[in-house]
């Protein structure tokens, strides 16, 4: 099978790595890819949001499947053009991707589907959450616990313009549920947790994600199934009813509250950095599952899951999420890999043969282990082998879960 993978982040590097393990894969191409992906695939200089360019590339490669990683091209409709041309695509249409592209649309679908979510409030008052309606790369949400935060949130909302939703502020722990969907059926992957805040102890601004782990210890098979039934399948049915069947990864971002699970948001694609922790645990033919989803038959697919845990630690530019870094040397990836870790590249570039920084989130270092504690210590040991001047990481990825599992500081 000839596959074209669209995107250039850590999520896509993880997908390239995992798809590369499939015996059905004959050729892997990426657009545009990154230096890490280039070691696994043929990269083409076509931007992820260049719909015409992707269509031309997919045609010239005679791609059997296109897998689209990031949300922006999906929300812009790149999957539609490919599908109209008869090319199987793992990724939703523009109409179905609105579930991520518009928070107001997502709320409307959730209400129609009877999915538990945060209540909408008539007017902003503390405590509440303000959400800009459109895509904002994780920066369009402001939690307002104090009047000062509310004032700042309203100011930010004005800079985003457009509709701003005001909703109930929920307390609890978050969970990411990723399901491979074929328009009507869904296959759920390992439940994951990501760490959105910039600094240890969940301090600082929201980021794209500073780390992740999977599976989440207190979410067993039965609970995961319940979440699939209450938070994923009803939305699939509602989108299909509206003539916008969802094909791709439907990612439910949940808050597990004292009153039960509540959906905070849907994403129309694999999570980043959840994917880096979830895919190493997949047993079986991931490519076959994506191809089945793209052609409407994920119902017949079963994927196993390794009896193990995975932890991903993101190495980011020192000033991330406010600033990015370019041109600083990245060293030690081979040593980290020799320790048994997977190193997924995100914001990197090659400059005269040297791998250098090129973005905010630079690398994800993933390790697996029989226990979460083992995976965590391996991931941090491997991350310590990598040297990037001025870069930083959170030190507490998966720490609370390990402490809960082992009954003490891990």
Binding footprint of ligand GLY on the chain (CB under 6 A): 194, 209, 267, 271-272, 274
Q: Which of 69, 248, 253, 360 binds ligand AMP (CB under 6 A)?
A: 253
22 or 275: CB nearest ligand GLY: 275
CB 300, min distance to ligand GLY, A = 28
Spatial contact of 178 and 270, defined as CB atoms under 8 Å apart: yes
Contacts of 312 (CB under 8 A, 6+ apart): 211, 212, 213, 273, 276, 277, 344, 364, 365, 366, 379, 397
Q: Which of 13, 196, 376, 378 binds ligand AMP (CB under 6 A)?
A: 196
Beta bridge partners of 180: 187, 249
* Alpha carbon distance 205, 188 (integer Å): 30
71 or 238: CB nearest ligand GLY: 71
36 or 271: CB nearest ligand GLY: 271
Residue 129 interaction partner, one of ligand GLY, ligand AMP, none, beta carbon < 5-8 Å per kind = ligand AMP
Stretch that binds ligand AMP, among 84-92, 153-161, 169-177, 346-354 (CB under 6 A): 169-177
Of 375-404, binders to ligand AMP (CB under 6 A) are none
Residue number of the CB atom closest to ligand AMP: 265
Strands 203-206 and 211-214: unpaired
CB 401, min distance to ligand AMP, A = 16
Spatial contact of 44 and 31, defined as CB atoms under 8 Å apart: yes
124 or 138: CB nearest ligand AMP: 138
The dihedrals phi and psi of 347, each to the nearest 5 degrees, come to -90, 80
Contacts of 175 (CB under 8 A, 6+ apart): 191, 192, 193, 216, 219, 227, 253, 254, 255, 256, 261
Judged by CB under 6 A, does residue 143 bind ligand AMP?
yes
64 or 272: CB nearest ligand GLY: 272
CB 92, min distance to ligand GLY, A = 15
Q: Which of 108, 149, 174, 339 binds ligand AMP (CB under 6 A)?
A: 174
CA distances from 356 to 118, 348, 350 (A): 42, 6, 6
Q: What sign for the dihedral angle of Cα 96, 97, 100, 101?
A: negative
Spatial contact of 238 and 113, defined as CB atoms under 8 Å apart: yes
| DSSP SS3 for 249 | strand
Binding stretches for ligand AMP (CB under 6 A): 118, 129, 131, 138, 141, 143, 167-170, 174, 196, 206, 253, 255, 264-265
């Amino acid at each position: 099978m000839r596959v074209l993978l669209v995107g250039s982040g850590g999520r896509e590097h993880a997908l390239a790595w995992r798809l590369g393990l499939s015996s059905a894969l004959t050729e892997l191409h990426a657009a545009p890819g990154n230096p890490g992906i280039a070691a696994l695939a043929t990269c083409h200089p076509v931007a992820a949001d260049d719909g015409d360019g992707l269509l031309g590339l997919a045609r010239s490669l005679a791609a059997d499947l296109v897998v689209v990683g990031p949300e922006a091209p999906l929300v812009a409709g790149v999957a539609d053009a490919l599908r109209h041309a008869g090319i199987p695509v793992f990724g939703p249409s523009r109409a179905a991707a609105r579930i991520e592209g518009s928070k107001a649309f997502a709320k409307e679908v959730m209400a129609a589907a009877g999915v538990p979510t945060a209540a909408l409030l008539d007017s902003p008052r503390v405590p509440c959450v303000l959400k800009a309606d459109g895509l904002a790369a994780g920066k369009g949400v402001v939690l307002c616990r104090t009047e000062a935060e509310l004032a700042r949130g309203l100011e930010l909302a004005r800079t985003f313009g457009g509709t701003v939703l005001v909703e109930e502020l929920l307390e609890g722990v978050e969970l990411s549920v990723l399901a491979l969907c074929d328009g009507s059926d869904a296959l759920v992957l390992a439940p994951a947790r990501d760490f959105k805040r910039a600094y240890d102890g969940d301090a600082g601004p929201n980021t794209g994600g500073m780390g992740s782990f999977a599976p989440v210890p207190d979410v067993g098979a039965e609970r995961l199934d319940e979440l699939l039934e209450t938070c994923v399948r009803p939305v699939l049915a509602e989108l299909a009813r509206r003539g916008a069947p969802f094909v791709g990864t439907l990612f439910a971002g949940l808050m597990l509250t004292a009153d039960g699970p509540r959906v905070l948001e849907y994403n129309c694609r694999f999570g980043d950095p959840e994917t880096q922790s979830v895919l190493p645990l997949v047993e079986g033919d991931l490519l076959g599952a994506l191809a089945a989803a793209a052609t409407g038959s994920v119902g017949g697919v079963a994927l196993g899951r390794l009896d193990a845990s995975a932890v991903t630690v993101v190495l980011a530019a020192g000033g991330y999420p406010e600033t990015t870094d370019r041109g600083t040397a990245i060293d030690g990836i081979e040593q980290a890999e020799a320790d048994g870790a997977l190193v997924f590249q995100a914001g990197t570039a090659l400059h005269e043969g040297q791998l250098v920084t090129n973005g905010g989130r630079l690398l994800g270092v993933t390790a697996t282990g029989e226990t979460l504690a083992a995976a965590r210590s391996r991931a941090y040991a491997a991350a310590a082998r990598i040297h990037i001047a001025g870069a930083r990481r959170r030190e507490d990825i998966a720490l609370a879960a390990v402490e809960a599992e082992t009954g003490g500081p891990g």
